[in-house]
Structure 1
Amino acid sequence: MQLLDIYIYPIKSLGGIRVEEANLEERGLQYDRRWMLVDNQGDFLSQRKHPKMAMIQTNLSNNKIEVFLKNHVEENITIPFEPLSQEMIPVSIWDDEVIGQVVDRKINQWFSDILGFSCNLVHMPTSTERKVSSKYAAKNESVSFADGMPYLLIGQASLNDLNNRLENPVPMDRFRPNLVLSGGHAFEEDDWDKVKVGDAVFKITKPCARCVMTTVDQTTGKKSKEPLKTLSTYREIEGKVLFGQNMSLLEGNKIKIGDYISAYKK
């Protein structure tokens, strides 16, 4: 087995970026979900309620994030890695409330104009620690603005298995993984306890429960019933539809496409 793809999603719920290599951090891949859009109450925004967010693409370049509309690249803005504002506000993501740093009011206005309602872009400063639930933490680690865990792994064979059951196959971007592996068998990762990628070692913490976000076409921003409808027919356990494995980092500093993968079963 080898590492087939690496994806980073700098701004939560916006378009992701495939990279050739990535630095590993406790909270997740470097730059992954370190920024997040929130409403005026500080609650996080996602494609679950706002599928149009799928149409906003990101790119990393020279210590900044380039953001643009997929079908209108002239609609774009540049976001510096270091926020221009010193304003700190409380923000909520699921059951967690943490402090986010407002990036810049002009940038807030750009996103508000695109989405059609008032919102703020916040950055997660290093002073903010959002701890992984003690039920799943490997070593009391923190996580970024991701839903709950620092890393998400999916086997390409698992997606192939799903697509063989679908009338219209879907790409991997529906599931927003960080790491995609080639080789192995469909859903083989269900039985793993630890996985070694190159020199890095990860702890498998729990399966990833999927939601309606998987039904948002990342090229059009439109919702349908698939692939969640089909996936639920054979991957539903205790009321949750499972696809992919959440992970925490145990050791290692970097991964790259082509790294060999070895797994340790439970």
Structure 2
Amino acid sequence: MQDRTDPAAGACVARVVALHVHPVKSLGGIAVSAGLLGPCGLEDDRRWMVTDPDGAFLTQRQQARMALVTVARGTDGLVLAMEGHGAHAVARPPVDGTRRIVRVWKDSVPAVDAGDAAAAWLGAALGRPCRLVYLHDTGARPADPAFAPPGATVGFADGFAVLLASRASLDALNRDLPSPVPMDRFRPNLVLEGAAPWAEDGWRLLAVGEALLRVVKPCSRCIMTTIDQRTAESPDPREPLATLARTRRARGGVMFGQNAVVVRPGRIAVGDGVRVLEEGPSNLLPA
């Protein structure tokens, strides 16, 4: 009997055509050619977060201007930039720095404050008081146990360590939309090409590069998908959500992309094949 956990097993159904890291939750992303996929997701992904002064997380849902802040990796931290505000280097705060308990949805997580200078720059760029924090302890926040296996963790992403999306599925969605939307509206980590539209609904265990991923649930989408990531405006505040509501409504919301947790860490790269080691019925449960 074939060992279904052998990464050589299973057909290569797609390839990785893009990898994206979003170091600061809801700020600009970075395209990378390769990266280490650890228990908490791609290296540096959503390890930083902007909060209000009381520690509640901020995203483009409340502050669309966050899309306009670009992020680059620095020598030991980040470089933030925004038109009209220049660039600002932020050092990764030390493990023994000023601790704060911050809130991500229903989770309270210990993080380290990045300092007053970073808070002042971001506050001026976003037009509201805020703080910037960093997550050192990647085991501090468990992924949702209703879907993820025991021990799965997540950083400051909404719910799970990895978000994957298919170009074919985006193409299928765009055929139904009044005006097409780009993939960056959905802010995935892995963009895949080669599979049939919505084939990812039936994937359960994937081998990608050196890593193994467990697909746990489809990703419910919110108002952020209506925001143009280059202008921070919503050309059509109804779309793509209205079309997803007609075509991809399921239990828990309207869905695009798949959430996954890391079963085995490893290096992945653009060009890697994606092998399906386990399949199942569609995880798009009726609403």
State the alpha-carbon separation in 2 of the partners of residues 99 and 38 from structure 1: 13
SS at match of 1:229: helix
Counterpart position of 1:135: 146
Whether 2:261 is the aligned partner of 1:248: answer: yes
Aligned-pair distance for 1:222?
0.8
SS at match of 2:79: strand
Aligned-pair distance for 1:118?
0.9
State the alpha-carbon separation in 1 of the partners of residues 54 and 219 from structure 2: 28
SS at match of 2:46: coil
Residue 233 (structure 2) aligned to one of 219, 222, 227:
222
Counterpart position of 1:265: 279
Whether 2:128 is the aligned partner of 1:117: answer: yes
Counterpart position of 1:7: 20
Does the 8 Å CA contact 1:84/1:104 hold for their aligned counterparts? Answer: no
Counterpart position of 1:57: 70
State the alpha-carbon separation in 2 of the partners of residues 127 and 93 from structure 1: 14
State the alpha-carbon separation in 2 of the partners of residues 261 and 115 from structure 1: 39
Alpha-carbon RMSD across the aligned residues, in angstroms, is: 1.6
- Letter paired with 2:45: D
- Letter paired with 2:142: K
State the alpha-carbon separation in 2 of the partners of residues 182 and 82 from structure 1: 38
Does the 8 Å CA contact 2:17/2:192 hold for their aligned counterparts? Answer: yes
Does the 8 Å CA contact 2:211/2:266 hold for their aligned counterparts? Answer: yes
Matches within 5 A, 1:63-74: 63-69=76-82, 71-72=83-84
State the alpha-carbon separation in 1 of the partners of residues 160 and 20 from structure 2: 15
Aligned-pair distance for 1:85?
7.9
SS at match of 1:163: helix
Aligned-pair distance for 1:24?
1.1
- After superposition, the C-alpha distances for 1:30-73 in whole angstroms (9 at most, x for unaligned) are 1000000000111000001111101111112433211111x44x
State the alpha-carbon separation in 2 of the partners of residues 76 and 253 from structure 1: 33
| TM-score of the superposed pair, with normalisation by structure 2 | 0.88
Residue 182 (structure 2) aligned to one of 159, 171, 190:
171
Does the 8 Å CA contact 1:84/1:103 hold for their aligned counterparts? Answer: no
State the alpha-carbon separation in 1 of the partners of residues 43 and 93 from structure 2: 14
Aligned-pair distance for 1:84?
9.4
Query: Alignment identity in percent?
Result: 36
SS at match of 1:233: helix
SS at match of 1:225: coil
Whether 2:117 is the aligned partner of 1:106: answer: yes
Whether 2:41 is the aligned partner of 1:28: answer: yes
State the alpha-carbon separation in 2 of the partners of residues 7 and 127 from structure 1: 19
Aligned-pair distance for 1:238?
3.0
- Letter paired with 1:60: R
Aligned-pair distance for 1:127?
7.1
Does the 8 Å CA contact 1:208/1:246 hold for their aligned counterparts? Answer: yes
SS at match of 2:271: coil
State the alpha-carbon separation in 1 of the partners of residues 31 and 243 from structure 2: 27
SS at match of 1:97: strand
Residue 126 (structure 1) aligned to one of 134, 137, 142:
137
SS at match of 1:48: coil
State the alpha-carbon separation in 1 of the partners of residues 139 and 59 from structure 2: 21
Residue 249 (structure 2) aligned to one of 222, 236, 249:
236
Q: Which runs of 5+ in 1 are unaligned?
A: none
Structure 1 consecutive aligned stretches of length 4 or more whose deviation exceeds 2 Å: 61-64, 81-85
Aligned-pair distance for 1:257?
0.3
State the alpha-carbon separation in 1 of the partners of residues 72 and 165 from structure 2: 22
- Letter paired with 2:176: R
Does the 8 Å CA contact 2:33/2:269 hold for their aligned counterparts? Answer: yes
SS at match of 1:11: coil
Counterpart position of 2:217: 206
SS at match of 1:205: strand
SS at match of 2:219: strand
Residue 16 (structure 1) aligned to one of 29, 50, 73:
29
